[in-house]
Copies of this chain bind each other. A is one copy, B any other.
Amino acid sequence: MLLCDIGNTSLHFYDLQNDYKESVEQFDPASIEEEVYYICVHPKLKKRLYELPNWHNLEEKVDRSRYYDTMGIDRIMACEAIKNGVIVDAGSAITVDVMQNGIFQGGFIYPGARAFEQAFASISDVLAYELPNKIDLSHLPKNTPEALAYGFLSGLVKEINSYDLDIVLTGGDATLLQRHIPKSKVDRLLLFKGMLSVLGKI
């Protein structure tokens, strides 16, 4: 059995021992003969997968009424993995969701680092910087690149810390965020845990 989390650019596979990624552009899902349980936010690929009998869409097994109509299936799967906590999925967008006693409390969406850089560059050429990876949030910056990185991170970190719950980070920028939220833990397989939970295997 394979689990697969399909985003806009890559397929993230997990065989319950190892995980690996394939590019949406180059990967042919018909090349897999095993049973695959997946979630997918890529509209074209989603259509294609319905034609393949060994690919099973886990979205159909989720009780969506516990969340809200337009909530992304990736956010829902991450929530399914956690009974109590703040779940931060830091990718092209950063989603922050809160679960209490297994009940979804709501959540919000924030642009990821690349989208933030583009937003700054679209305002003015003088704000067109790559955000520095290292930034000290303990004092206010006195130069432009740090003023942008502080803007990106400081309020977000305060918001995430404000719920007095355990914090789980996942997604490509999870480790970047963890530098500023030391009491959090990173779990890059979180969505797969949610998928296993939905499958009744945990």
In the complex, A127 has a CB within 8 A of chain B: yes
A106 (CB) vs chain B CBs: closest residue:
B140
A189 on the interface (CB 8 Å rule)? no
A91-125 CB contact bits vs B (8 Å, 1 = yes)?
Answer: 01110101000001111111110011011101110
Each complex incorporates copies of this chain amounting to 2
A154 at the interface (CB under 8 A from B): yes
Contact residues, A156-174 vs B (CB, 8 A): 156-159, 162
Interfacial residues, chain A to chain B (CB-CB below 8 A): 8, 41, 67-72, 92-94, 96, 98, 104-112, 115-116, 118-120, 122-124, 126-127, 139-144, 147-148, 150-151, 154-159, 162
Q: A158-B162, A159-B154 are in contact. Are A107 and B68 (CB under 8 A)?
A: no
A115 to B96, CA, bound (A): 20
B109 touches A120 (CB 8 A): yes
Bound-state Cα–Cα, A112 to B127, Å? 13
CB distance from A194 to the nearest CB of B (A): 19
Shortest CB–CB separation between residue A44 and chain B, in angstroms? 13
Q: Give the residues in chain B near A143, CB-CB below 8 Å.
A: 68-70
24 A-B interface contacts by CB (under 8 A): A68-B142, A69-B143, A92-B123, A93-B120, A93-B123, A93-B127, A106-B141, A106-B142, A107-B141, A108-B147, A109-B127, A109-B147, A110-B151, A111-B119, A112-B123, A115-B119, A115-B120, A115-B123, A118-B119, A118-B122, A119-B119, A155-B155, A155-B156, A158-B162
In the complex the two chains form, is A106's CB within 8 Å of B158's CB?
no
Is there contact, CB below 8 Å, between B108 and A140?
yes
**Secondary structure dominating the interface of A:** mixed
**Within the assembled complex, what's the spacing in Å between the Cα atoms of A123 and B119?**
11
11 additional contacts (CB under 8 A) given A8-B124, A119-B119: A68-B144, A71-B144, A93-B124, A98-B140, A108-B140, A108-B147, A108-B148, A109-B120, A111-B119, A111-B123, A158-B158
